[in-house]
């Protein structure tokens, strides 16, 4: 998306698959991995290329080129891709979550979540590379959540 706040992490060779589920992972910067890990998991961190596993059925969040894995119990935040639908956080910088978006749609038949996030992005307030476990801009996730949760009347989409 042209109005996202941060560039996508650069690819580091062929798309590696998660050692647990085989799902292709997307590159994630080391700053993201280190920021997300619990104290005990951070003690096991080694500097390697890491990828994010988006598979909802898999407990692995990050896997390294050396075979290291970090699971949902190794990270500080709940990872929305690994949680059941309903109350998941979709924007970690500004607290947009499915429950609040659904309630807003119920009240108004529309949601301004996309516009709120775009306003914050334009003001330079996001920190997706540190706050989002995927290490990338969440605007696309917010747009998808609004579309999934409500009618086609998406404000700011």
Distance CA 134, CA 26 (A): 8
How many domains, the chain?
A: 2
Digit-coded pLDDT (tens) for 15-74 = 679 999 999 999 999 999 999 999 999 999 999 999 999 999 999 999 999 999 999 999
- If asked whether residues 100 and 124 sit together in one domain, one would say yes
Q: Is residue 144 part of a domain?
A: yes
Residue 128 has phi, psi (to 5 degrees) of -55, -35
For 21, the enclosing helix (H) or strand (E) is: none
Where among 15, 46, 74 does a domain terminate?
74
Cα distances (Å, whole numbers) of residue 23 to 30, 53, 69, 111: 20, 7, 14, 32
Contact 91, 4 (CB under 8 A): no
- If asked whether residues 69 and 94 sit together in one domain, one would say no
Supply the CATH number for residue 140's domain. 1.10.10
Bridge partners (DSSP) listed for residue 52: 26, 62
- Lowest mean pLDDT, pick from 11-25, 27-41, 96-110, 121-135: 11-25
Where among 74, 92, 113 does a domain terminate?
74
More confident position, 129 or 153: 129
What number of H helices and E strands is found in the chain?
6, 6
Among residues 24, 20, 77, 74, which one has the least CA distance to residue 51? 24
Q: Which residues contact 73 (CB under 8 A, 6 or more apart)?
A: 38, 59
Where in the sequence is the domain holding 130, given as residue range(s)? 80-149
DSSP string, 71-103: EGGGBSS--GGGSPTTS-EEETTTTEEHHHHHH
Residue range 73-100: mean pLDDT, rounded: 95
- If asked whether residues 42 and 90 sit together in one domain, one would say no
pLDDT at 150: 86
């Amino acid at each position: 998306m042209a109005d996202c706040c941060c560039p996508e992490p650069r690819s580091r060779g062929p798309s590696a698959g998660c050692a647990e589920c085989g799902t292709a992972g997307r590159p994630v910067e080391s700053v993201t991995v280190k920021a997300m890990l619990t104290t005990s998991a951070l003690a096991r961190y080694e500097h390697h290329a890491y990828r994010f596993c988006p598979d909802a059925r898999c407990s692995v969040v990050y896997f390294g080129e050396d075979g290291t894995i970090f699971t949902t119990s190794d990270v500080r935040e709940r990872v929305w891709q690994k949680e059941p639908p309903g109350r998941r956080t979709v924007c970690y910088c500004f607290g947009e979550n499915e429950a609040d978006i659904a309630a807003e749609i119920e009240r108004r038949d529309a949601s301004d979540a996309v516009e709120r996030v775009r306003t914050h992005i334009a003001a330079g307030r996001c920190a997706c590379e540190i706050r989002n476990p995927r290490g990338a801009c969440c605007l696309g996730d917010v747009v998808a959540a609004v579309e999934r949760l409500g009618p086609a009347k998406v404000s700011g989409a």
